Amino acid sequence: MSFGNQSIRFEPNLGAGISPTAQSVRPIGPFLGSAGGAVNQHSMTGEGPKRQVAGGCHSALQEVKVCKGDPVVGETGMRRNDIMNQLNQLILYVSKTTPFRSHLDRHLIRAAMVFTFFAFSIQKWSQYTAEMLVPLISHSPVVFWLLPAFGVRGAGYFLGTTETIFGSLIFLGYWSPRLGILGALGSIATFIGTTSIIPFLPDGWAREAGGFPIMTLPLGFLMKDVLFLVASFYLLKQDLTRAAEIIRS
């Protein structure tokens, strides 16, 4: 192509994996003279003309790349840092408050366990609850012997009495860690007995809902005891630590 006494030759550049449609513009002669220098300064090989910016550059034809010095990136980073700093300050402040510097967690868990033992032990004294427990007791590898040994009502009395004793010992653990240890051990034994029923419970998964993982009510009732078993171990650890401190002092 020519413009007067000036000409431009288009040469395909197939290097670096560029499509043949991407071509280089090379002017022959001083096409723009001293005014500029240069259509040949702008390669159209796929990178396009480059604009210098702080910290890097953008490509005019390629996907826009955000450079390090981009003020938008800097502002976003500063905003994120401010949020993280505020969150850290909040965490430090809350961690210094009384509920989180005291033994409130231990007291709350102990109170929850005492309430649970007393609430469920009362149920065991009634004929109605004792009869409801028969399918669970009969499939337990730990307490199955209660039914042939004491009968339905006697099994309810036995469970109600032991749960009342363990709940009382855990309650006394507020003042005596040794009694708390006994209560925690009894609690662990109780919930090992109840959770051991889970694998042996027939029709534990609801067939009407497609089976696993949808549980029937009896299985869901037993699943909660996994949490109580863990809480019992937590109380045992706490009371053992307290008793050891008393011994060392």
- Which pLDDT tens digit goes with each residue over 44-81? 444 444 444 444 444 444 444 445 556 666 677 788 88
52: β partners: 57
The pTM score is 0.64
Residues found in the chain: 249
3: β partners: 6
Q: How many CB atoms lie within 10 A of CB 113?
A: 23
pLDDT at 177: 95
Of 44, 39, 56, nearest to 20 (Cα)? Answer: 44
- 100, 92 Cβ separation under 8 angstroms: no
pLDDT at 15: 45
- 157 has a pLDDT exceeding 80: yes
- 205, 219 Cβ separation under 8 angstroms: yes
DSSP 80-121: HHHHHHHHHHHHHHHHTSHHHHSSHHHHHHHHHHHHHHHHHH
pLDDT at 46: 44
- 50, 40 Cβ separation under 8 angstroms: no
pLDDT in tens, 7-30: 445 444 444 444 444 444 444 444
- 123 has a pLDDT exceeding 70: yes
Cβ-based neighbours of 141, under 8 Å, separated by 6 or more: 196, 197, 200
Of 78, 77, 72, nearest to 53 (Cα)? Answer: 72
* Confidence grade of residue 191 (pLDDT, cut at 50, 70, 90): very high
